[in-house]
Amino acid sequence: MPVNLGEALALARGRIDNVDARILLREATGATAAQILAFPERGIAPEAARRFCDWLARRVAGEPVAHLLGGREFYGRPFRVVPATLIPRPETELLVELALDRLQSTQAPQILDLGTGSGAIAVSLALERPDAAVCAIDYSPEALEFAQHNALALGACVDFRLGSWYAPVSERRFDLIASNPPYIAENDPHLGQGDLRFEPLTALASGPDGLNDLRHIVAQAATHLLPGRWLLLEHGYDQAEAVRLMLETAGFRAVASWRDLAGIERVSGGHL
């Protein structure tokens, strides 16, 4: 059992990522990132040491840091995360930024988030645009419960609805539809690796080529968008061309893809 910060980091070295080790040690002990680096001799209370060792063992087994700590920061805000929801990822912040940019000139926009999961996209948009009417849909009751928790904790006003894709809003039209749907091929070996092993398969995989849900969303989007309004979709690293073709075939204009901070075409979209 480590008795100080330096021993704790040494225990984790070579077993998990160094950044993960510092995050877990910070949360277990209450020490700041600077203190962990500058004062390795600083003592650790036995309870904190046990907590760190437990988290370390679980992280070595592959459990995501977000699940160990119960949360993940997204768009500068803390979101509660549970195994029933997809862990919010930094690249998805691009989807929020693009949505906000396209709504700049729209007063009191009507926004739809399909497959909301933890609610990260819907809640972020609602907080950045308090005048917006944001509706968020998910088919998982458990995911929706935690999305509602995140909205309440962060003070966001979001209309959460249970159902499959557009079904709960069959008669409504929106200024913008955003979605980060499942887009991994169902036989992709990555599903059995890393953090993905601990996330819900239904939030990750979508048919033989990973495009089933994207096809469904695009095919029905026109009946749920106001004239001239936008559809924005996150997708896999190698799917941008296929998604652009879907959008063009469905009659969308100004179809384009945008790159995330890693230079990957991560979001595609267009307007009617």
Closest-CA residue to 87 (of 146, 166, 24, 28): 146
Cα-based distances in Å from 132 to 88, 115, 141, 220: 22, 19, 24, 23
Q: Is 115 annotated as a binding residue?
A: yes
DSSP string, 27-66: HHH---HHHHHH-TT-B--HHHHHHHHHHHHHHHTT--HH
Q: Alpha helices of 129-222 — where are they, by DSSP H? A: 141-154, 212-221
Strands (E), the chain: 71-74, 77-80, 110-114, 133-138, 158-162, 174-179, 225-234, 253-259, 265-271
Q: Is 117 annotated as a binding residue?
A: yes
CA distance 256 to 135: 25
Q: Is 116 annotated as a binding residue?
A: yes
Q: Is 105 annotated as a binding residue?
A: no
Q: Is 92 annotated as a binding residue?
A: no
Exposure letters 132-152 (e unless 16+ CB within 10 A, then b): bbbbbbbebeebbebbbebbe
Q: Is 139 annotated as a binding residue?
A: no
Q: Is 182 annotated as a binding residue?
A: yes
Q: Is 192 annotated as a binding residue?
A: no
Annotated binding site for substrate: 180-183
Residues annotated within a binding site for S-adenosyl-L-methionine: 115-119, 138, 165, 180
Residues making up the binding site: 115-119, 138, 165, 180-183
